[in-house]
């Protein structure tokens, strides 16, 4: 108990501490030191466990290191300390085996409870299939007919220092995942090429996306906002360049957004029947190429020798159209070439193939229409 005359001093100390924490620069600095508290119940429980085990470690550390530092100071030869000769004690050995074991058992109880909660993916209000690709994410709202790719929006000019880096450098995407606040969202995770991991720290969610597997995890976000995450499993050269952005919005806003997305998908489908001019296809194709193909085949179409084949003068891009359609739509199993038939619309596929057959000096003069792609897919 604090004596009466010490109370003002304690209060002063407390207010000084509060003041220190409210100085913006200092507060910013403090925020970079520890795990932030998240916006889901699970993430808060993880944070609480993290702090508990941290303080247990600190407490043990203080005791153990105090004894050591005391010895290092008091029992120095230079002070003339004579060495004792004791070298065993069964009682002591048993004590420092049993006490840590008891601490661990106490720690295992809340950890087990949290783990069980983390694994409870039942009764979800919304299912989102998350598919990892080298190096982008695909989000599919199961049962709603809405699906889109989500790719890094930071331009190369910022990465290579030609332009100043924006606020959300490497943590911004073209199409963020949108989910409703307050609903239990189940994420089903898989991958089409190598293993990726979908990590959103604010949700306390990290799960591997593995080819041939479907993993499950979930989040019920409580606060509307934009949350940023990263791919957490080494997946090749673009590992650092496939961020995750999730917008959590109120349910009504989400319903509107989803309806708009559905309309968009139907409009895009309708475009399949349209006939485009060469110029339209080339313009759209260049955009699609730079977004989806240039990471490997390079913007100039020259590829990377020994790793990624060139587009320029390639036998596929200048050979029969069916072979070109086949590799773009179906990919090439056993290599890094993905099946873009599942990622891009008919219009985008037609545009990018037209672009590849006429850019980089390939000049075949071929024009591919969305309907050609549609028919190719149907004919398989």
Partner 1 sequence: MAHGPAKGIKRWLFTTNHKDIGTLYLWFSFAMFLVGGLFAMIIRAELFQPGMQLVTPEFFNQMTTMHGLVMVFGAIMPAFVGLANWMIPLMIGAPDMALPRMNNLSFWILPFAFLILVATLFMEGGGPNFGWTFYAPLSTTYAPDSVNYFIFAIHLMGASSIMGAINIIATVLNMRAPGMTLMKMPLFVWTWLITAFLLLAVMPVLAGAVTMMLMDINFGTSFFDAAGGGDPVLFQHIFWFFGHPEVYIIILPAFGVISAIIPTFSRKPLFGYSSMVYATAAIAFLSFIVWAHHMFTVGMPLAGELYFMYATMLIAVPTGVKVFNWITTMFRGAISFETPMLFAIAFVILFTIGGFTGLMLAIAPSDIQYHDSYFVVAHFHYVMVAGAVFSGTAAVYYWLPKWCGRMYNETMGKLHFWIAFIGFNIAFFPQHFLGLAGMPRRYADYALQFADWNMVSSIGAFIYGAAQILFLYNVIATIVAGKPVKEAKVWEGAEGLEWTVPTPAPYHTFATPPAVK
**97-116 positions binding partner 1, by CB under 8 A:** 97, 100-101, 104, 107-108, 111-112, 114-116
129 scored as a contact of partner 1 (CB under 8 A): no
153 scored as a contact of partner 1 (CB under 8 A): no
Instruction: Give min distance, CB of 84 to partner 1, in A.
Output: 4
Query: In Å, how far are 71, 191, 242, 378 from 341, measured between CA atoms?
Result: 70, 15, 20, 12
- Give yes or no for a contact between 154 and 174, defined as CB atoms under 8 angstroms apart: no
167 scored as a contact of partner 1 (CB under 8 A): yes
Alpha carbons 192 and 210: distance in angstroms, whole number: 8
List 44, 144, 184, 239, residue binding partner 1 (CB under 8 A): 239
**C-beta of 4 vs 79, nearer to partner 1:** 79
List 12, 35, 259, 273, residue binding partner 1 (CB under 8 A): 35
Q: 157 is written with which tokens? A: 């000019």
- Give yes or no for a contact between 231 and 238, defined as CB atoms under 8 angstroms apart: no
List 18, 22, 89, 322, residue binding partner 1 (CB under 8 A): 89
**291: exposed, middle or buried (C-beta count within 10 Å: 0-12, 13-18, 19+)?**
middle
The set of residues, in sequence order, having a beta carbon less than 8 Å from that of 89 and lying 6+ positions away, is none
Query: In Å, how far are 1, 288, 291 from 362, measured between CA atoms?
Result: 85, 17, 20
170 scored as a contact of partner 1 (CB under 8 A): yes
List 139, 148, 187, 199, residue binding partner 1 (CB under 8 A): 199
List 197, 244, 288, 311, residue binding partner 1 (CB under 8 A): 197
Instruction: Give min distance, CB of 193 to partner 1, in A.
Output: 7
Instruction: Give min distance, CB of 377 to partner 1, in A.
Output: 20
26 scored as a contact of partner 1 (CB under 8 A): no
List 2, 84, 91, 252, residue binding partner 1 (CB under 8 A): 84
67 scored as a contact of partner 1 (CB under 8 A): yes
- Give yes or no for a contact between 174 and 180, defined as CB atoms under 8 angstroms apart: no
Alpha carbons 242 and 252: distance in angstroms, whole number: 29
Q: Which residue has the tokens 């058992």?
A: 105
3-state secondary structure of 74: helix
Q: Choose one: 55-63, 140-148, 277-285, 346-354; the region binding partner 1 (CB under 8 A).
A: 55-63
């Amino acid at each position: 108990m604090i004596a009466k005359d010490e109370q003002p001093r304690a209060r002063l100390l407390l207010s000084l501490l509060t003041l220190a924490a409210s100085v913006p620069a200092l507060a910013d600095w403090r925020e970079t030191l520890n795990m932030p508290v998240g916006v889901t119940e699970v993430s808060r429980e993880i944070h609480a466990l993290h702090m508990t085990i941290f303080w247990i470690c600190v407490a043990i550390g203080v005791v153990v290191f105090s004894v050591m530092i005391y010895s290092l100071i008091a029992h120095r030869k230079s002070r003339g300390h004579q060495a004792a000769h004791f070298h065993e004690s069964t009682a002591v050995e048993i004590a420092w085996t049993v006490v840590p074991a008891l601490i661990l058992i106490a720690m295992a109880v809340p950890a087990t409870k949290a783990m069980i909660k983390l694994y409870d993916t039942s009764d979800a209000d919304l299912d989102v299939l998350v598919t990892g690709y080298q190096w982008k994410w695909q989000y599919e709202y199961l049962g709603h007919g809405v699906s889109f790719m989500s790719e890094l929006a930071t331009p190369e000019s910022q990465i290579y220092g030609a332009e100043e880096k924006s606020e959300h450098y490497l943590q911004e995407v073209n199409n963020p995942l949108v989910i409703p606040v307050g609903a239990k969202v189940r994420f089903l995770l898989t991958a089409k090429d190598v293993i990726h991991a979908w990590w959103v720290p604010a949700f306390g969610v990290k799960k591997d996306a593995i080819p041939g597997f479907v993993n499950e995890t979930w989040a019920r976000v409580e606060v509307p906002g934009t949350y940023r995450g990263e791919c957490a499993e080494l997946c090749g050269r673009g590992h650092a360049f496939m961020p995750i952005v999730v917008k959590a919005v109120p349910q009504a806003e989400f319903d509107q957004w989803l309806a708009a997305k559905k309309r968009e998908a139907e409009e895009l489908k309708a475009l399949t029947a349209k006939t485009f001019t060469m110029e339209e296809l080339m313009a759209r194709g260049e955009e699609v190429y730079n977004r989806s193909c240039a990471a490997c085949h390079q913007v100039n179409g020259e590829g990377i020798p020994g790793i990624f084949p060139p587009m320029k003068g390639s036998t596929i891009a200048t050979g029969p159209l069916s072979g070109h359609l086949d590799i773009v739509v179906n990919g090439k199993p056993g290599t890094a070439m993905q099946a873009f038939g599942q990622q891009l619309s008919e219009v985008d596929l037609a545009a990018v193939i037209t672009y590849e057959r006429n850019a980089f000096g390939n000049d075949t003069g071929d024009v591919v229409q969305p309907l050609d792609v549609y028919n190719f897919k149907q004919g398989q």
